[in-house]
Every structure is written in C-alpha cells, then in structure tokens.
Structure 1
Amino acid sequence: MEDDGFLVPVAVHFDELDSFGMLYNNRYGVLVERAWVMYWQEREIAFSRDWTTHGDAFNVVKDFRITFEAPIDRPGEYGVRIWVEHLGRTSLRYGFGIRSRDGGPPTYAHGNRTLIRLDPATRRPSEWSEKARELLAEQVRPAD
C-alpha cells in the first residue's frame, strides 16, 4: 500500500515553523493542496485565474480530515503520497500521507479530502471529464 497512488515532492520553509520549531498545524493542509495542484498541472489539467476555463480544476472541498502522527520539525523536502479512495459521478475522495521525501517512513500526517466538481456557470455539481476519469482511475487504491 505504500506504493499506491503517486508521490509529489513538497517543501517546508523555515517561516512555516511555529514558535516551538514545528510545522504549524494548518500548513499540513497546504502541503497536501500544493501536491494535488502540482499533480494535475503536470497532467495538463491546469489551474488558472480564468474560472470559466477551469473544467475539472473547478471544484470545492466538501470534507477534509487529517490525523497528525509526528511533528515536522525542520525545513526541507518532504513527500505527499496521494491515492484515490472513491470516484463518484461528481465527487472524489482521495487519501494522503505526508512522509519523507522518498515516500518512506515516518508518516507525519495522513487523512482524506473530498472534492465536488462544479460547473463554473451554475456552481452546481458537474460530472468529471473523461480525461480526469482516466487519470483518476489509474490512482484508485484497491480495496483491502
């Protein structure tokens, strides 16, 4: 299971550490978001300022859950492993683990995030494109 999904490198900077020298808790979600966006940009499902052209990138977070296991206590390179747990018609739940740069232990935090794809004009749930479905299907974690 440690090799499921994809691994994206992320950086932690000195100014993200709190007064105790640990990564501030809300920054973990930022690392996950950055990894998710990098993955999609590399696959040409781009994020831009023109909201009408976002397509599959026009989505909102419905739910975000995170469990902290160990503190990140220094700046440097880390890895976020992401896998798809559920792909619905308009929704997507993906799991994640924030780990070392190479994806190995320790796990600093893990959780999942649910997204709903929206139509930019109506702001109502909209189906994922075929391109997104193909990319996401490759990342579905097998059931235990």
Structure 2
Amino acid sequence: MTTIEAVGHVEPFTVHFDDLDAMGIVHNARYAVFLERALSNWWGERGHSYAGGRPTTSDVMHAVAEYSISYRTPVRGTGDIGVHFWLESLGDSSAVYRFRIVSADGQTVHAEGRRVNVKLDPRTLRPAPWSDHARSVCQVLLAAPVPAEELAQQG
C-alpha cells in the first residue's frame, strides 16, 4: 500500500440539511460528528458497540485524548460524501487515527485531521490495553499492518 487512498476504510456518508450553517456549507463542528459516526459504524459492524445501554466489549470504553482538524474545501450543501479513516499507529492503550472528509468520488479533500483515542478501564478510568480481538480487527486500518507472526507473538 503506497498511496493514502489504499489504506484504511472509506465510509459512505450523507450530509443532511441540519449539518449546514447559515451559509449553506457544513458547519465546522459537524466534521467531528461525521468521523465519530463513521468509526461507530465500522466498529459496530465488527461487534464493538453499545447494546441495551451497555458496551458490547471493553474496547468500546475509550476517550478522545487529542483531536485536530484542518479544513480544506467547504462541503457545499447536502448529499453524499466519504469519511476516509485509518490508524497511523496502535499502542498498548492508544490509537492514533488519521482521517479525511472527501467528496463522494474521492477527488476532493474537504478536511483532514488526527484523533487520538485512549482505551480506559471501566472501573478505574485509567488507560488499559486493547484486547487481542480489537488488535486483530483493526489490522486492516493500520497504515503499516503488523505482520501475522508478530501479532501472534503479542497474543
């Protein structure tokens, strides 16, 4: 994988009227929501979500430790876009996501940024290691996936 488009996942997303500001462009605060929903969908499809008001796995318990975003080209109006995200790195208890909000055809980058999550122990709210299952699932998101042999040695 040599190009940025070849790593991670692009989640199709629809911009709605209530995402727009008074100028008819996506409000700056909505970009974080777009990423949150895209990540929630992706992880939920892999068994990591909330059901009945409770987390389905311990890996759902995490907090955002850092967030940055750069706006490039406004999204003007409603319609389809893509939320492209990947993992830059995965530590013992941290995950560094990179993301881009792109046009539906992927040709225009509307915004790009970085988000750092820290997994928390639900009892102590202190950093806790990601589960082996989460580590395995997220390999497809890593910009440089961990070789299978090394992943087996970690478990």
Taking structure 2 as the reference length, what is the TM-score of the superposition? 0.86
Q: Deviations over 1:108-132 (max 9, x none)?
A: 0001100000011111111001111
Structure 1 position 30, deviation (Å): 0.4
Find the aligned partners of 2:126 and 2:45 in 1 and give their Cα distance: 27
Q: Give the number of the structure with larger relative contact order, counting CA–CA contacts within 8 Å between residues 6 or more apart.
A: 1
- Shift in Å at residue 13 of structure 1? 0.5
1:64 pairs, out of 52, 67, 83, with 67
Task: Supply the distance in 2 between the matched residues of 1:140 and 1:134 (Cα, whole angstroms).
Answer: 11
Structure 2: stretches of 5+ with no match in the other structure:
146-155
The root-mean-square deviation of aligned C-alpha atoms, in Å, is 1.5
The CA deviation at 1:54 is 4.2
| 1:19 paired to 2:22 | yes
Shift of 1:47: 2.4
133-142 vs 61-70, which deviates more? 133-142
Structure with higher Rg: it is 2
2:110 matches 1:77: no
- Please list the CA deviations of residues 48-97 of structure 1 after superposition, one character each: whole Å capped at 9, or x if unmatched: 4225x541111000000100000011111111011100100000001001
Share of identical aligned residues, percent?
37
C-alpha distance in structure 2 between counterparts of 1:139 and 1:31, whole Å = 18
Q: Give, in whole Å, the separation in 1 of the partners of 2:103 and 2:72.
A: 13
- Using the size of structure 1 for normalisation, the TM-score is 0.92
Counterpart for residue 50 of structure 1: 54
Q: Distance in 1 between matches of 2:59 and 2:42?
A: 13
How far 1:137 moved relative to its partner? 2.2
Tell me how far apart the structure 1 counterparts of residues 71 and 36 of structure 2 sit (CA, whole Å).
Answer: 16
Structure 1 unmatched runs, 5+ = none
**Is 1:7 aligned to 2:6, yes or no?**
no
Q: Distance in 2 between the 1:135 and 1:54 partners?
A: 13
The alpha carbon displacement at 1:9 in A equals 1.2
